[in-house]
Structures are given as structure tokens and as C-alpha cells.
């Protein structure tokens, strides 16, 4: 894939934003390869994602930023530019279950998704050998049921050292303390094993079996301080029937979980997800 | 479709049930065209559905029932036999929105689904001409917001006269009083315009838009006295995105609603749905 | 829905197109509510769809066209402007099977989709009463197996009189002669009852049953002079199993056919479909 | 999962088969946990799958077989009994692409699917380290383009030594010679990267992109001597659009391929797939 800049913008909607941005790109000879915009009708807030070939512009990332700043200021934009040549740093948190972690590691090592992994953090040691076969740093911080604060202090410090662009809870099974959540807004991605808002909290497949639903699902969302209530990035479902036990649902659900998490993370890594209040715009 | 008997059985599970039933059929020369059984592992309750060609048996419906009674008593079965030559009587209740009603009437008049319609009941008069074009009886009972009891008394009497095998709430928009619900257990089918248990109650698409879900759905379920909490027969979903307004969701949802209701009703009419507590076994 | 203009553009890609178009809109105070563009990487051909609020512009449809012409000429655009206040004229062709026709008529009479129906044409008289209940003109032109040319001459003339913007073959079951096809390029929409390119030609469900596929589908496509080979607009599938007979497949397929046709027609009516060679860009 | 016997039967349909089999099970106190039967209406051929708890029967696998033989002979059954306590032996063939192989190895090492892997065979050495990390035997047989017979002779011998119950072509990319195919009827499972019968042969995603389809898929089927034409076990699809390049389709397709292959193999390992001519009965 050719190197490109991704320009992500949000601001109050008004006449002339697209004209100003696309004129700015055109004046500098920029070649747009992807373009999305959307205005939320309720808030009249405008969202935009442009992808421009790096080689078509006469300046680099910093030059692009400084030249664009006057345009951004004119429209009071919140904005970022990302360079596709720079991988995002993704810290993975897992527990004992490997389905999501294995899936993401396959996508990473095969080059299907481009990102760096400073370390994998777990409260158990089971997955060490598998992770280390990949040449990755495995950090094991046990959880004491009586006092989880030691675990979370270690996690917090490891995260700080890893300088992650995004943190993925790949079936980590622990509820991150508010203090950590607050440090990484819209940068912690969780996979919840139900079709939210159905079956918030623990043991969602047992809840689903009790209710007798005919579809079960998974939800990839940003973590906020409210449990299972953050902005939803992606969801999917799979059909179940009366003959499926809870164990079947757990097994079928795993396939949905890993697909949904991988899609959600891909959207995030490609800067396709813009958060607006408790909802997401996903420029797919 | 050749005429057949459907034998529906449930009873405590034990060794020999299938042998006894299939031996009974075989001894009388019966030709089984469909067979399903299932035992719920928690309750150890056994469920069975057999379809037998009517012409392969030496007796009619009443003969079949009387000959089978000793087998049924031996295993303390709850059981029914249905004759596919006798259409079920389906009363349809609607309001102003026609998507579910139109869909069911198409399936009825085209012969895709075989059932009789003693009458269509509505709290509005909008759909009269359309229903009457089909040669059907349209019963309009207005609802007084101040006192709904007059409406429900009329509905109750009309139902009693219609002797329905099943009552379909095809987006009827009124909550049936407990007294009516209690008269028709597992015989009132509702279509709820959300993927239950998400978004119980009113305006589910507005709730879904507020929560920012990426899939919306519909649920076909039996009506019990607890709102939107009865046994689920069928569900399905459709993908939505940030660009979809509530109006879009309502439109997209209608297509799911009518499909899910039609599938649920078909399962019921073919005696494929067995209720077990608050769940269904659907022999699909 | 507020009245708007839809500006549809295609041209060779180069720097500055989006800037020029969006600047044109902005200079006249135009309020863009939807925007899509796409460049085909192989042909380097650029496609664009803008929706602009009519009330935000200082001129009407003709004014918009004349003011935009210089921009269009500069980039050698193929372009159209559609006024959402003017319904497209849709002629429906059907045979005996009513599932697609009934579905479209429901969407039309309920206002779910906005279009005008100059007439319904059929080679059979079965659906006359149903169509006429809607207050629509029903044109019955029988087909003589020995000489179909009389039928097609009548169809051709009826179409000419109806001045359709789009012609929908709603399970019409006849192959339109090349002469008619050639008069309405990218304006005749067919629903084929298979997941093309599987099972081209007659009796696709029988072909599917013979092959033992586990999914069957339907394809909405523009009609070209090559049978079942025109640009695909929309497709979908439904799961089947060994227990499903050809009759089941036909029934299950009907539900897919009508959904796929309705979605494809909606895309077309909203000017979301741009044809590029034998493929479509669908700005969904 | 409790140990069980799976009794798989096919024979010409006639009255009394189910009665005879279920009576046989009941007489010996057998506890049936799953039961499926189906009669193909065209051929009047009967298919049956019973799962019986091993501990409920007074004899072991050989005892069950010898006691059942008279029943089987009476109805001229083709039949097998499988012991769920004995893992099937699965030889995996792969090339360079790891998505299907990685997925199956995850399911194997996590215990999600129970089977033994005598060896993994490949025409390339790329996946050796990954496979050997699992403690598995990796057999690398290079392919000489000029003379593939050396490769296939080595494969044939390795298979003979491995005594596989089933051979999985996990994106092996070579066409097995007829001689090998003929030795393992209904025991070689392939994953084809298209929704068959669309896009038989090489580069199906390129074919799909050329045709402009809106869904792409994958097909898991038994290998016969006719390319991509064997009995289909399982299929699925994923939605694509004009904006998806061939590379996108390959990536999206991989997720479908591995899911479909895993489901197909699971059905096979659980003895749910019965072959009937060129079709399968899948008791799901």
C-alpha cells in the first residue's frame, strides 16, 4: 500500500468546509484516494476523513500540519493527521483464553494488519510460550483477589512504559480501574461477548441461554468508566437454537468475538472511527 | 403437499420413548416423513414431532388419537395430533401500519402459507379497503384513550366469536390486557421491533439510535402477561450505521419485522414450536 | 424529506475535481447533506454524488445546471442533476407471480419509496384486480408462443407512451428483445432468482438443488443484451439445507428476490448507482 | 463431553426402520442424546444419525457392532458406529498461506475440536517453525514445476503412513492427482475460495472482482476427481462493494474460508455429514 496521510476532522458544520479542505489539498497537488464526510443531523457536527498520497504533496507530515493549521483554525476544527508509514503501537491484554489473542497475532505476523506490539500483558502465565514464539515481550502480572491494586499498578506502569496508541482488551476478563480508563479516552478497545445492550456484565452466554434468544453476538466498543456502556464500534451475531447448550454458545460466540474485535481494531488502526458523544462514526 | 398427521409430544425423558412411538407408527404401517426429537439437558424433558402420511395409516384423526392414547399414558405425555388438511384459524390484529399485515395477506392469498382468517381486527379504519379487497371481514374497534376497556371488551368478544387457533399482533400497537392474554396461552404471537431483550417497551428504534448500535432487529414471541418477555420464537437483525437516521432504522426494521413474523407464524402453523418454560423448542 | 438536488458526476480523475465542485457549491451557499466520491484504481475514472439542499441555493434546477456547466466542461464530466421533488416514472412488468410486484406496490402506496407508476404491464391477466385496486393502469399483452413479436411490439409501444425513467422486470419471465434493451441502457432493472454468476438461465432453483449448494440467492442487475450478464446492483442469499426441497427453495428465494429487488430499485431511484463498464458503483 | 457412540445409517426407505433401530437401543437400555433422520424424496433413500451414551449400554464398541448387525442386515443398511472416545486422525496439507492452518491449529490446541494430527504436509517450508512449536511433525515435500510426480509420490506415501481418517486441504494450492483422490473417497476436505459453482478454478477473487459481484464466499467440499465439483459440505459469504480491491476481497475472503473450513471439518469429525450422490446430508 502506498504511503499516505490520513486527515481526520470534526467541527461545527457550515457552508464551505469541504471546499476549503479540498481546495487546500488541490492547491498543493494532493491526490485524494479516499474521502468520507458526514454531518450529524441532531448536533450539526461535521466529520471528515481524507486519505492523500504522501508522494503527491510537496511537504512531509510536519509540513502538512503547519500548512493546514490556518484552514483548521478558520473552522475551529478538532483534527489530526496520521502517516500510514508509522505503525500504531498496540498493547494487548489477555487472560487465559487465547481465541482473540491468537487471531490478532495471526493477523499481525501475516502482515494482514500493520501495527507494532510493545508487549502483551496478562494476569496469567498460560500464553507466555505462544506469545514469546512470536518474539514478543510477555508481561505476567498475577491478580490477587484480595487486593487487585498491585496488579493494576503494574499494568498502569507497563502501559506508561509501552506508550500505546491503543490498548486492546482481548478477553482480559478484568475490569480496568477508572484511573487507567481516564488516561486513554477512545484508545482502549474491548470485546464484550454479547450483543450489547443485551446481557451487560458477567456470564452473558448464560444470560442468553436463560432468555432463549435465537441469535447471540459480540460487541467491540471503546472503554469508558461505565461498564459495557462505551461507544460501540462494531457488532455481529450468529444464529443459535434450542439444541445449543451454553458451551455451544461460548464456542460459537468465540468466532464472532474474534471477528468483531479484529474488524473494530482494523477500523481504529485505519483511523476510520470518530467518536461523537457516546456513539461512533465509522467511515467503512 | 400430501395430507399428513403431525404428532407433537412432550414428557419426562426415559429410555424407550422413541422406540414406543416409532413402533406404534410402524405396526400400523405409518410412513414417517419428518422426525425431530430433543431432550432438554437441564430439565430432562423430552420433546418430539413426527409427521406421518395420513394415507399410510388405517385410521383417521380420531382413530389415531384413540389408538395412541395407551402409548401416551404409559409415558405420561402431553400430546396433540394435528391434521394438515385442517387449516388453523388465524385472527390478525393491526393498527395503521400495514407492512406486516400486507406481507401476511400476500402469503395467505398466494397460498404460500395455508391458514384461514376469520377476521382482521383494528383500532383504526385505514386498512379496511385493502383487507376487504381480499374478501375478508374487517372489524374496526376504536380506542378511547380515556377508557380502553370498551375497545378491549369488543376485541375479546370478537376473538371469542372467531374461535382462533392463533392470534397475531401484526404491529397492533396496543398492550393486550392480562385477561385476554391468559385465555390464549402460547397462542398469541407478537412481533416486537427490537432485538429483545434489548430495548424493551416503546420506541425501540429511538432507543437503538441513542445507544449507537450497529445492528437492529426484530423478535417474534408468544405474548405472556409480562411485557415483551414471553418465549422467543424467532429473531433477526439488519446492519445499520452512523449515517442511518431513526427514520431509516424504522424503514429497515420493517423489512426485518415482516420476515421474522412470517417465519415465526409459519413455524407455529406447522406445529414446529414447543414451549418449555419461557423458552421455545423450534423443530426447523 | 427536504427537497434537494443530486449531482452525479463521472470523469477522468485528476487533481482538483472535488475542490472545484465543492467550491462551486460553497460559493453559492449550497448546503451539502450527502457526499460520496470514488476513483476506480484500474481505469482512474472518478465518480461523485453530492446531495445539496434545494433551499440553500439561489437558483432552481435549470439555474443550477447552467451555472455548473463551465465546471463540468473544464473536467470533461459526464453529469446529471436530479431534483428529489420530481418522482421518477417506473413501469413495472410482471407475469403471474406476485411476490415482487406486491412488495413494490406496498412500498409505493405506503410512501416508503417515492416514484410514479405510469402503468403495469403483464403477459397475463391474473394480477389485474390487485393492481387496479391501487388505481393503477394495468396493460395485459398476451404472449403467443409461436410468435412473441406481437407481444413485444405492444410492450415497446406501451413503454414509449409511458416515458419511463426506469423499467422494472418484477419476475416478468420473458426475455426482452435486444431492440427494447438497447433503448433503455442502465434503465431496465431485472431480478434474477439466483446468486449470479451461478445458475444463469432457466430454473435456477432446480440447478441449485441439483448442485447441493448450502446458500441460494438473488441478483438485481441492469439488463443488457447478454442474458443475466449485466451490471450487478445488489445481491443477497439465504441458507438452505438437504431437507429443503426445490419448492422450499422457491419459497425461500422469493423472500430474497423481493428484498434484493426493492433495495436495488431504491438505490437506483436515489441516484446511488453509477455504471462503469459492466460493474456498478453503489454509493450506499 | 460424555463418551458416546454415533450410529450412522443409510438404506432404502421403508416402514419400520426407526422402530427397529430405536427398539434395539431401548431394549439394551441405551440413552439417545441426539437423533436425526431424513429420507431423500427423489431416491427414497433413508439416512439416520443416533448418538447414544456409551455408559448406558451393556457392551462396548465391538459388542454394539455385533449385536446391531442383524438389524442392519434386515434393512440392508450401510452403517458405521463411531466411538467419541477415539479421536479421528487428520492430516493437514498447506502451502505458504497460514490463515486456515493457523485457525485449525488454534482449535486443536485449545481443545475446541478434538482430533489427532499425525503430520502436517506442505510444498513449502515457511510454516515449519509455527507447526513445530505445536509439537507436530512437519513434512516438507517441494514441488518441481517440471515434474510434480515426485512431490505427489512423497505425499501419497506420507499419507499412507499417517493412516488418516480425513485429509484437509487447508489452502494447499495443488490439485491432488486422481490416484490419491480415489483412495480417500469422502475423506478429503477442501476449502475453495469462492461461492461455488461460481468462479471454479484459479484466481476466483479476481474473477469475482471482474464480474462485480456484491458478495464473495467460500465453499468447503469433499474432493472428487472432478475439479471443484465434489459434494458441498458448507458455504458462506461476505458482503463486498465497488470500493473493495481484489486485495480486500482476498483478505475478507480469508476470514470466510477459515470459518467455513472449520465448520465443515467439525461436521465431518462429528459424523454429521452423509454423502448421497454428489450432495451431502448435514445433520447440524
Each residue's pLDDT tens digit, C189-226: 999 999 989 998 889 999 999 999 999 999 999 999 98
- pLDDT score at D202: 86
Average pLDDT, stretch C42-48? 95
Q: Which band of pLDDT confidence, cut at 50, 70 and 90, is reported for residue B202?
A: confident
For residue D186, the tally of other CB atoms under 10 A from its CB is 17
Helix/strand/coil (H, E, C) string of B29-95?
Answer: CCCEEEEEEEEECCCCEEEEEEEEEHHHCCCCHHHHHHHHHHHHHHCCCEEEEEECCCCCEEEEEEC
Distance from CA of B106 to the nearest CA of D (A): 29
Position A227 scores a pLDDT of 85
Task: Name the residue among C98, C110, C129 with its Cβ closest to that of B110.
Answer: C98
Helices and strands of chain B, counted as H and E runs = 8, 13
Cα distances (Å, whole numbers) of residue A192 to A134, A201, A205? 26, 9, 11
pLDDT of residue A78: 97
Instruction: Indicate the burial class of C211 (C-beta count within 10 angstroms; 0-12, 13-18, 19 or more).
Output: middle
Residues in Cβ contact with B93 at an 8 Å cutoff, skipping those fewer than 6 apart? B120, B121, B122, B155, B167, B168, B169, B170, B172
Does residue B283 contact residue B272 with C-beta atoms inside 8 Å?
Answer: yes
Q: What is the mean pLDDT of chain B?
A: 96
Average pLDDT for residues A228-246, to the nearest whole number?
96
Report the C-alpha gap between B10 and B14 in whole angstroms: 12
Q: Which of A15, A19, A31 sits opposite C15 (nearest CB)?
A: A31
What rounded mean pLDDT belongs to chain A? 96
Residues of A in contact with C26 (CB under 8 A): 15-16, 18-20
- Residue D38: strand pairing partners: D47
Query: D220-241 pLDDT, tens per residue?
Result: 999 999 888 999 999 999 999 9
CB contact under 8 A, D195 and C199: no
Given a contact cutoff of 8 angstroms between Cβ atoms, the answer to whether D189 and D261 are in contact is yes
Following DSSP, what letter does each residue of C176-209 receive, concatenated?
A: --HHHHHHSTTTEEEEESS-TTTT-SS-HHHHHH
pLDDT over 90 percentage in chain B: 94
Query: What is the CATH code for D90-282?
Result: 3.40.50.170
CA distance C194 to C208: 8
B106/C102 CB distance under 8 A = yes
| Confidence at A40, pLDDT banded by 50, 70, 90 | very high
Residue A143: closest CA among A200, A90, A201, A93: A93
Which residues of D carry out catalysis? 228
For the segment B85-100, what is each residue's pLDDT rounded down to a tens digit? 999 999 999 999 999 9
- Please determine, for residue D200, whether its predicted confidence score (pLDDT) is greater than 80: yes
What integer is the mean pLDDT of D163-180? 96
Q: Where are the beta strands (DSSP E) in A175-270?
A: 188-192, 215-222, 232-239
Which residues of chain B have a CB within 8 Å of the CB of D30?
A: 15
Distance from the D47 Cα atom to the nearest Cα atom in chain B, whole angstroms = 12
Helix or strand run (H / E) with residue A254: helix A246-269
Give contacts of C234 with chain D, Cβ < 8 Å: 214
At A56-87, the pLDDT tens digits run 999 999 999 999 999 999 999 999 999 999 99
A contact chains, 3+ CB pairs < 8 A: B, C, D
From C181's Cα to the closest Cα of chain B, the distance in A is 31
Decide the pairing of beta strands D45-53 and D32-40: antiparallel
User: Is C225 buried (19+), middle (13-18) or exposed (0-12) by CB count in 10 A?
Assistant: middle
Closest to D238 (Cα-Cα) out of D194, D282, D284? D194
Euclidean distance between CA atoms A120 and A129, whole angstroms: 12
- Local structure of B199: helix, strand or coil: coil
C-alpha cell at B167: 392470534
- Whether B197 sits inside 8 A of A199 (CB atoms) is yes
| Cβ–Cβ below 8 Å for B106 and C99 | yes
pLDDT above 80: residue A1 = no
The pLDDT tens digits for C59-103 are 999 999 999 999 999 999 999 999 999 999 999 999 999 999 999
Mean pLDDT of D2-20: 95
| Mean pLDDT of the region C23-34 | 94
Q: Give yes or no for residue B1 having a pLDDT over 80.
A: no
Residues of A that are catalytic = 228
User: Which residues of chain C form CATH 3.40.50.170?
Assistant: 90-282
Measured in whole angstroms, how far is the alpha carbon of residue B138 from the centre of its chain? 21
Instruction: Label residue D201 by pLDDT band (50, 70, 90).
Output: confident
Parallel, antiparallel, or unpaired for β B188-192 and D45-53?
Answer: unpaired
Cα–Cα distance for residue pair D93/C232, rounded to 1 Å: 36
For A160-174, the pLDDT digits (tens) are 999 999 999 999 999
pLDDT class of A271 with cuts at 50, 70, 90:
very high
- pLDDT for the residue D136: 98
Range list for CATH 3.30.70.260 in chain A: 4-83
Answer whether D185's CB lies under 8 Å from D226's CB.
no
Query: Any idea what DSSP says for residue B185?
Result: T
Catalytic-role residue among C83, C116, C210, C228:
C228
pLDDT confidence of residue A201: 83
Instruction: Give D13's contacts (C-beta < 8 A, 6+ positions apart).
Output: D39, D44, D45, D46
Taking 90 as the threshold, does the pLDDT of residue C1 lie above it? no
The average confidence (pLDDT) of chain C is 96
- Per-residue pLDDT, averaged over A258-274, amounts to 98
Determine the residue of chain B that is closest to C251 in CA distance: B112
Distance from CA of C241 to the nearest CA of B (A): 11
Query: Cβ C23–A25 below 8 Å, yes or no?
Result: no
- Is D19 in contact with B19 (Cβ distance < 8 A)? yes
Catalytic residues of B: 228
CA distance A203 to C107: 42
CA atoms of C155 and C151, how far apart (whole Å): 6
Query: Which residues of chain B make contact with A241, given a CB cutoff of 8 A?
Result: 282, 284
How far does C232 lie from chain B, in Å, by closest CA? 21
Q: How confident is the model at residue A202 (pLDDT cuts 50, 70, 90)?
A: confident
Q: Which chains would you list as touching D if contact means 3+ CB atom pairs under 8 Å?
A: A, B, C
Q: Which residues of C touch B (CB under 8 A)?
A: 98-99, 102-103, 106, 110, 112, 129-130, 133, 251, 254-255, 259, 262
Check whether A251 has a pLDDT greater than 80: yes
Q: Which of B2, B34, B99, B102 to substitute to test the interface with C, most C CBs within 10 Å?
A: B102
Percent of residues, chain A, with pLDDT higher than 90: 94
Spell out which residues of chain C touch residue D278, defining contact as CB-CB under 8 Å. Answer: 211-212
Q: What is the DSSP string of A201-227?
A: SS-HHHHHHHHT-SEEEEEEEE--SST
- β-pairing, C166-169 vs C138-140, is unpaired
Q: According to the model, what pLDDT value does residue C112 have?
A: 96
CB contact under 8 A, A232 and B243: no
Instruction: Enumerate neighbours of C (3 or more CB pairs within 8 A).
Output: A, B, D
- Looking at beta carbons, which residues of chain A come within 8 Å of D133? 129-130, 133
Pairing of strands A90-94, A120-122: parallel
Question: Average pLDDT in the B100-122 region?
Answer: 98
Angle at B102 between CA B98 and CA B103, to 5 degrees: 120
Span B135-161, mean pLDDT? 96
If residue B188 lies in a helix (H) or strand (E), which one and from where to where? strand B188-192
Q: Do D237 and C237 touch (CB under 8 A)?
A: yes
Q: Is the pLDDT of residue D1 over 80?
A: no
**Nearest Cα residue to A39 out of A272, A274, A278:** A274
C-alpha–C-alpha distance, residues D154 and D151, integer Å: 5
Cβ atoms of C99 and C130 closer than 8 Å = no
Q: Cβ(A213)–Cβ(B221) under 8 Å?
A: no
Confidence at residue C201, expressed as pLDDT on a 0 to 100 scale = 83
pLDDT at B34: 92
Convert the pLDDT of each residue in B3-15 to its tens digit. 999 999 999 999 9
The shortest C-alpha distance from D21 to chain C (Å) reads 21
Q: Is pLDDT at C244 greater than 90 in this prediction?
A: yes
Quick one: B60 exposed, middle or buried, by C-beta within 10 A (0-12, 13-18, 19+)? exposed
Q: CATH homologous superfamily of domain B4-83?
A: ACT domain (3.30.70.260)
Q: Express as a percent the part of chain B with pLDDT over 70.
A: 100
Q: Which of B16, B26, B35 sits opposite D26 (nearest CB)?
A: B16
For position B201, what pLDDT does the model report? 83
Rounded distance, CA D264 to CA D256, Å? 12
Confirm if B139 and B119 have CB atoms less than 8 A apart: yes
pLDDT for residue B104 = 98
**Residue among C38, C199, C232 whose CB faces D214 most closely:** C232
Amino acid at each position: 500500500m502506498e504511503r499516505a496521510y490520513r486527515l481526520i476532522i470534526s467541527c461545527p458544520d457550515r457552508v464551505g468546509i469541504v471546499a476549503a479542505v479540498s481546495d487546500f489539498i488541490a492547491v498543493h497537488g494532493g491526490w485524494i484516494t479516499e474521502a468520507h464526510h458526514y454531518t450529524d443531523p441532531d448536533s450539526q457536527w461535521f466529520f471528515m476523513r481524507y486519505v492523500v498520497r504522501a508522494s503527491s504533496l510537496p511537504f512531509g507530515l510536519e509540513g502538512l500540519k503547519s500548512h493546514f493549521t490556518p484552514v483548521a483554525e478558520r473552522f475551529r476544527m478538532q483534527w489530526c493527521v496520521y502517516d500510514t508509514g508509522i505503525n500504531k503501537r498496540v498493547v494487548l491484554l489477555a487472560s487465559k483464553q487465547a481465541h482473540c489473542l491468537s487471531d490478532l497475532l495471526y493477523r499481525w505476523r501475516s502482515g494482514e494488519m500493520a501495527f507494532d506490539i510493545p508487549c502483551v500483558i496478562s494476569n496469567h502465565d498460560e500464553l507466555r510460550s505462544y506469545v514469546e514464539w512470536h518474539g514478543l515481550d510477555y508481561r505476567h502480572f498475577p491478580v490477587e483477589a484480595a487486593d487487585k491494586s498491585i496488579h493494576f499498578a503494574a499494568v498502569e506502569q507497563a502501559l506508561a512504559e509501552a506508550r500505546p496508541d491503543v490498548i486492546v482488551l482481548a478477553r482480559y476478563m478484568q475490569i480496568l480501574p477508572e484511573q487507567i480508563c481516564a488516561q486513554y479516552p477512545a484508545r482502549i478497545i474491548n470485546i464484550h461477548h454479547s450483543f450489547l445492550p443485551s446481557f451487560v456484565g458477567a456470564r452473558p452466554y448464560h444470560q442468553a441461554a436463560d432468555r432463549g434468544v435465537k441469535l447471540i453476538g459480540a460487541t467491540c466498543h471503546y472503554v469508558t468508566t461505565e461498564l459495557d456502556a462505551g461507544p460501540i464500534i462494531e457488532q455481529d451475531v450468529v444464529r443459535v437454537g434450542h439444541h445449543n447448550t451454553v458451551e455451544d454458545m461460548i464456542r460459537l460466540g468465540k468466532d464472532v468475538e474474534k471477528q468483531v474485535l479484529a474488524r473494530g481494531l482494523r477500523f481504529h488502526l485505519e483511523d476510520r472511527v470518530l467518536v461523537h458523544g457516546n456513539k461512533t462514526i465509522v467511515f467503512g
